[in-house]
Every structure is written in structure tokens, then in C-alpha cells.
Amino acid sequence: MNDAMQTPTEAPKRSVGEAMLRGARGRCPHCGEGRLFSRYLKVAPACEACGEEFHHHRADDLPAYLVMFFTGHVVMGGLLHAENAWAFTAMQHALVWPALTVVLSLGMIQPVKGAVVGLQWALRMHGFDKGHDDETHPALKPHSDHA
């Protein structure tokens, strides 16, 4: 079914990539203007710019799992490469890899959680199917290249 033939009950499609990118930047996946987080990992109850509600999101353990998966692969790959390429001492290993693990984990957890919330919003999961009409929000109006 094309866009011109959309039925009234069919909700407009939301861009998954754009919503995840906005969430990863800590912005509202709906408008891209308001802040998604009220504290480091606490999702704000609603967007201060457009009013989109976030309180019902269910990111749960997925962000932590994704961060652990990525960090584990990077750190273990780096450790194995360093062991084969250089003569690291046990003390150097003990200093480098735990520090890298902490830095990667803390640096990635908020953007990953924001992207997961953006994904849930774009796919209308966990209560994100209600709220603003995407057609009326000025920041989300489709751009027409045809004049």
C-alpha cells in the first residue's frame, strides 16, 4: 500500500534509524529537541519540548547486554593482540584492560540506552503507540523535493 492510499487507522511510519540516532544523542526520538535523560541513566518522564511521554519505556537489560557484548569483544581482542604483538608484563595487562573496560562501558551505556528507547518509540513498543500525531508536528513534516 503506498503513502497516498494510507487508511485512517494506519499510523504513519516512523524512521527507526533517525529515532535511534536521536536517542543515542540523548534527544527525544520524536522531535529531536528535548532531552531524553534527566540524569545519567534515568530517562525523563516526558520530553520538555514536544511532550512525548517516556515513562513507559522498557529498555531493561538490553543496553547493558549490548555494552558488555561489545566491550568484551574489544577488550579480549585487544588483550590477545597485545599478548601476541608486544611483550606486556602482567602489571601492564592489569592496568590497561580493566581501565579500558570501565571507560568503554561508562562511555557507551547512555548512548546505547538512548538508542534502545528510540528503537522502542519508532516501532511503537511498550505504550509508544499513543501520543502526538506525527503528521502535525512541525519538526517531523515530510520534506517535498517536488515543487
DSSP track, the chain: --GGG--TTSPPP--HHHHHHHHHTTB-TTTS-SBSBSSSSPBPSB-TTT--B-TT---TTHHHHHHHHHHHHHHHHHHHHHHHHS---HHHHHHHHHHHHHHHHHHHHHHHHHHHHHHHHHTT-TTTTSSS-TTT-GGGPPPPS--
Residue 147 lies inside a defined structural domain of this protein: no
For the segment 79-115, what is each residue's pLDDT rounded down to a tens digit? 999 889 998 889 999 999 999 999 999 999 999 999 9
**pLDDT tier at 5 (50, 70, 90 boundaries)?**
low
Domain contains 29: yes
- pLDDT category at 143 given cuts 50, 70, 90 is very low
Structural domain count, the chain? 1
What is this structure's pTM?
A: 0.76
Residue 31 within a domain: yes
- Is 69 part of a structural domain of the chain? yes
Range of the domain at 33: 16-126
What's the pLDDT band for 119 if we cut at 50, 70, 90? Answer: very high
